[in-house]
Structure 1
Amino acid sequence: MSYISELRAVVGTRPLILPGAAAIVLNSDGHVLLLQRADTGGWGLPGGFMEPGESLEETVRREVMEEVGLELDGLTLMSVFSGADQYFRYPNGDQVFNVTTVYTAKARGWNFHLDPEEATTAQLFPVDDLPNDLIAPEVPILEHYVRIVKNLL
């Protein structure tokens, strides 16, 4: 049983505040890797919740490896996202307020090995052509990243 499953056994679907990490994984053209999530059907960044004893860097590296089978090169801290716009209600009713540390990174190779329990599809998108059906907590993260990119041009 996972850490979150153990918590859910005690609190049910009530909101939890959960730390996690996500990666904006970029290819050489600056396209962003997004996953179509198996649990919601929406698009999101690779990443997930921290396990006890893990650092945020370890979390993001583990999650990207588990979800898409990619090893990351160096991580660059982009920002930390929290607050009301990081609330999410999963289809099963579980509620969470994410505290997400987001890194930018490049992958070592692009051979995807999707975990079908995590994602149904992985795809690279230009930053000016992201899918409309992003999961809600990812919207402010990707908007922030797009603003950074546009300010660099």
Structure 2
Amino acid sequence: MSTPDFIREIRATAGHQLLWLPGVSAVVLDDEGRVLLGQRADNHRWALISGIPDPGEQPAAAVVREVEEETGVRVAVERLVSVRSGRPVTYPNGDVCQFMDLCFRCRVLGGEARVNDDESLAVGWFSLDELPEMTEFHHFRIKQALSDEPTWFDPTAPQ
């Protein structure tokens, strides 16, 4: 995954210490009910399309931008699916990040699914019964996007 310039600037002074960052992800569904996935270049795993909002960028606008930048598909955001904090991730260079993921359900407006940048090895549409191997976190977000449940958040969080 390409590191945004603003994070490179922070890393110049923060070193490898944990950075708490916003993240956005998209469950993009086509008219046939298939899900858009990308095979990540950094770890070769299939995943929902995701990224980091630019400073000042609204999360919904960021997810629309990320989907088009990575896949060539234009989308409209339908709703917020989940708000969830992930586990810290340590990258091969020693950088540590923890992301607060805002996941959105999106519908396709146009474009053809393709590898559109250097962040993906492959991009494709998958029926729900033929999803490639992915982490449980991806399956969770897809399930939430397909349900009529309200936005998911951890109800055990202190109030």
Class of the TM-score when normalised by the shorter of the 2 chains: 0.7 to 0.9
Three-state SS of the structure 2 residue aligned to 1:108 is: strand
Shift of 1:143: 2.1
User: What residue identity is the alignment partner of 2:55?
Assistant: P
Residue 66 (str. 1) matches residue 79 (str. 2):
no
User: What residue identity is the alignment partner of 2:137?
Assistant: P
Match of 1:92 in 2: 93
Give runs of aligned pairs for residues 3-18 of structure 1, distance below 5 A.
3-18=6-21
Shift of 1:75: 2.6
Match of 1:25 in 2: 28
Residue 48 (str. 1) matches residue 41 (str. 2):
no
Structure 1's consecutive aligned runs of 4 or more residues displaced over 3 angstroms after TM superposition are 147-152
Shift of 1:115: 3.0
In structure 2, C-alpha distance between the alignment counterparts of 1:115 and 1:68, rounded to whole Å: 5
Three-state SS of the structure 2 residue aligned to 1:131 is: coil
Q: Is the 8 A contact 1:78 1:104 kept in 2?
A: yes
Q: Is the 8 A contact 2:84 2:101 kept in 1?
A: yes
Query: Would you say how many aligned residue pairs link Structure 1 and Structure 2?
Result: 146
Q: Is the 8 A contact 2:22 2:53 kept in 1?
A: yes
Identity %: 33
User: What residue identity is the alignment partner of 1:109?
Assistant: G
In structure 1, C-alpha distance between the alignment counterparts of 2:98 and 2:39, rounded to whole Å: 21
User: What residue identity is the alignment partner of 2:43?
Assistant: T
Shift of 1:111: 0.7
Shift of 1:141: 4.1
Residue 146 (str. 1) matches residue 143 (str. 2):
yes
User: What residue identity is the alignment partner of 1:18?
Assistant: L
Match of 2:155 in 1: none
Q: CA RMSD in A?
A: 2.3
Q: Is the 8 A contact 1:20 1:59 kept in 2?
A: no
**Structure 1 residues 77 and 3: CA distance shift in structure 2, 3 A:** same
Give runs of aligned pairs for residues 78-117 of structure 1, distance below 5 A.
78-82=81-85, 85-117=86-118
**Structure 1 residues 27 and 77: CA distance shift in structure 2, 3 A:** same
In structure 1, C-alpha distance between the alignment counterparts of 2:73 and 2:141, rounded to whole Å: 24
**Structure 1 residues 112 and 125: CA distance shift in structure 2, 3 A:** closer
Shift of 1:57: 0.9
Shift of 1:27: 1.2
